[in-house]
Amino acid sequence: MNPYSRFGLVSNTVSAAAILTVLAAVGPQMLTTLETMFGADAGTMVTAVGGAVVVLVVFWLAMTEAIFPVLFRFNSVRKLILGKYYFEGTWLQSEKGPDHERLSVIDIQPSGKGFIFSGYSLNKDLEIESNTLIEFSKMEWPFMTYKHRNSLSDGMDGQRDGVGELQFEMNRAASQRYNGFVQFVRSADRIRVEGAKMTSNKEVKSLRTLEGRQKVFSKYWRLFFNNAVTEIITRPEPVIERDAIIETYQPEPVIERDVIIETHTPTAPVKSVLERMEETAARVERRKDTSRDRRPDGVVPRRRSSDWVKSTVDAAGAFEDAPKTAEGGKK
């Protein structure tokens, strides 16, 4: 018995029930209306009934090929229909044979009224060696026979095409384990397989990353093969110690130089110069007073040129004596 035949049974049954319900509710009234409109004309009645049948067939096809396939995509609906025969999900499959140890991730995904069976296999070093895609399968519960293809093989190693058979455990609840064998077409050796369904959503999501896949595979590899996988440890790069070179700025040396302050010493004390100037001014005033004296006859006597020369010589002598006087005072 193929559990997936239930999808066709459900869609056909529900579609038929819907059509019969419509005929029971609307059929008698429709026949009465046709007799009223066309009378006893047999040809017209046959044509009307044929049109109604065509409408019902279109409704049937729409239900079974368009509406129900959309509903069958939901896991809750598939679980309700398949019941204890529901085995879709993510599985981990161990493969054991002569010099052959692999762990495969198998995804059984819904596809309308059937399913898609695909996966990939890794060795102990967590390197992908093959993949699996079912091209044909036959389900006779609890057995499933299938033919698969490995797209990573070029065919020269004889591992491109193979066949397999699985037996699911029979319980009252949904199956969680299976076992069986896989055999490549050009090989006489059978590889024993054992599968366990992953029920933890966290582990299923971890398989999408490299770090998470390593943790999940390490756990299940130890359970299936009683040994550990080759863990990939990422070590930090060594830090190379280098001498730190600190450049310091040395300021240029300050050259001390003698500061020369030039001061101007007056050639003569200010007081002596003022005294000389006062004497000269008094002498000039006396000469003015003498030159202003009038004669009894009212004639102003003319001043001689010798007087001007004498006054000029006296003034010059006074300025020449000033430095000497200053030097004498300094001493």
Beta partners for residue 132, in sequence order: 119
Place of tokens 């300025």: 319
Give me the pLDDT at residue 246, please.
58
What would the two tokens of residue 7 be? 């999808």
pTM score of the predicted model: 0.61
Give me the pLDDT at residue 197, please.
94
Give me the pLDDT at residue 195, please.
94
pLDDT tens-digit map of 235-267: 555 566 665 555 555 666 656 666 555 555 555
Residues of the chain with CATH 2.40.128.120: 87-225
Could you tell me the fold of the domain covering 87-225? Answer: Lipocalin (2.40.128)
pLDDT < 70 stretches in the chain:
34-35, 37-45, 229-273, 288-331
Question: Within 13 Å and on the Cβ side, how many CA atoms surround 54?
Answer: 6
pLDDT tens-digit map of 48-76: 777 778 888 888 888 888 888 889 989 99
Q: b or e along 221-253 (b: 16 or more beta carbons within 10 Å of the residue's beta carbon)?
A: beebeeeebeeeeeeeeeeeeeeeeeeeeeeee
Give me the pLDDT at residue 331, please.
44
Beta partners for residue 118, in sequence order: 107, 133
Other CB atoms within a 10 A radius of the CB of residue 138 amount to: 11
Give me the pLDDT at residue 279, please.
80
